[in-house]
Amino acid sequence: MSINYTQLQSAPRLLIEAELKPLQGSRFQPTGFADLGAARYKAPGGSDMLLVESAQSVANRLEFSIWDDAQEDLIEELKGLPYIRVTNPDGSLLTNSILEAHRINSPYILEGKDRSVFDMLKKDAAGMEIGPVKLKTLAELVLKYDINALLHGVFLAKSELAGGRLRLMRALSGFIEASDVSVAESGGVKNDRVDPGGDTKQGFGNVPFHRTEFTAKRIVAYFNLDLALLRGYGLPQEATQLLITLALFKVRRFLSTGLRLRTACDLDVVGDLNVTRPDGFTIPSEADLLAEAKALVETCSKVDGLFGSPSVTEVKWEKTK
């Protein structure tokens, strides 16, 4: 089954929900923050709520869903998508714009001795220094170097690039939250079988610890694809369709392979995806989405100037000092 793009033409958002449960047992460990711990809050109706995974973390996981870590490249079917590859001086992979927190704005891309990517971005951004930033022009620039940054957002903050005003918000976002939560306290001991009474500051001795986990009546993953934003970029139809297909594939792949969020947080999907907007829209299977994305990559690669040539832009990382 392919995507019914006609059904999405007038929809401002595509909203998706997926109910989750712990893969084993009933306890799970939520995301934590250094100065806060677990993010707990009250719903408007009074229910005890818990943030299981933040929007920032889900964005990172969605990006990683198309990367083959063992091969240090995109998954085979999506090779041809543009991205920036950062290498060490010996040619080995250091990082890339898909995995970097700031994507194209990564310091490993823009702050090294190799200024080739910076110079290309500056050249392509010429004319945007004064006046309102034209989103169509900026979207075309970003698409050329890393199509994923159009889905997950980017902020080219360097003043030399059109005054540091080149910014695109996330088109695809998501988070996971739990409702009607209860605390599940437990703990353990790090045992030192040689010297149980040793100096714990040095790493010796028995060290007791506590662990706070949770149970929940319901855990739900929410995803939001901003269709109006994508249409507003004014890209060729095949490029917009590729962005939609890629976004939906990432959601499917994340839910099928990426739900082991932490050692003590391994989740599973209950049933199928639920589309809450637009009414009646059905999301194809992961296999169908991947096949469609592969075909659209081939189509877009033939549109003159849409993707960079070659599609993978390489930059060598060496510190300037």
Which residue from 199, 78, 156, 145 is spatially nearest to 308, judged by alpha carbons? Answer: 145
pLDDT reported for residue 36: 83
For the ranges 26-40, 77-91, 226-240, the lowest mean pLDDT is seen at: 26-40
- Total-model pTM: 0.92
Three-class secondary structure of residue 121 per DSSP: helix
pLDDT reported for residue 207: 83
Torsion angle in degrees (nearest 10) through CA of 120, 126, 130, 132: -80
Sorted by where each begins, the domain ranges of the chain are 14-316
Q: What is the pLDDT of residues 116-142, one digit of tens each?
A: 998 988 888 887 877 788 889 999 999
- The amino acid at residue 217 is K
Mean pLDDT of 209-233: 94
